[in-house]
């Protein structure tokens, strides 16, 4: 079994309203030092295979097809 971690982040050129909301909330709570905030997703998957090369190819496919919206999001993954 391989454990994989996938990070899905909003592209730098795309607005992140959720991040802006969190930044505003932190400011109003007195955390004035907080600058830009960007929010993404973090996924942990267990893959029932021991072939790391195949797992990477399959993960790439999962990200492209379901996990990330590649129009506005970037992704990267790591195998444990």
Q: Is residue 75 packed enough to be buried (19+ CB in 10 Å), middle (13-18) or exposed (0-12)?
A: buried
> Which residues have a Cβ under 8 Å from the Cβ of 72 and sit 6 or more positions away?
10, 11, 14
CA-closest candidate to residue 10, choices 53, 41, 46: 41
- Minimum CB separation of residue 80 from its own copies in Å reads 13
How far is residue 77's CA from residue 37's CA, in Å, rounded to a whole number? 21
Among 13, 17, 36, 53, binds its own copies (CB under 8 A): 36
Residues 39-58 that bind its own copies (CB under 8 A): 39-49, 55, 58
Using rule CB under 8 A, residue 17 touches its own copies: no
Task: Count residues near its own copies (CB under 8 A).
Answer: 35
Of 65 and 71, nearer to its own copies (C-beta) is 65
Interface residue list for its own copies (CB under 8 A) = 1, 7-9, 19, 22, 25-26, 29, 31-49, 55, 58, 61-62, 65-67
């Amino acid at each position: 079994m391989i454990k994989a971690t996938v990070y899905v982040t909003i592209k730098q050129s795309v607005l992140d309203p959720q991040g802006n909301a969190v930044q505003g909330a932190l400011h109003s709570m007195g955390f004035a030092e907080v600058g830009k905030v960007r929010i993404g997703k973090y996924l942990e998957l267990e893959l029932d295979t021991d072939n790391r090369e195949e797992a990477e190819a399959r993960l790439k496919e999962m990200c492209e097809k379901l996990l990330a919206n590649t129009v506005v999001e970037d992704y990267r993954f790591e195998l444990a």
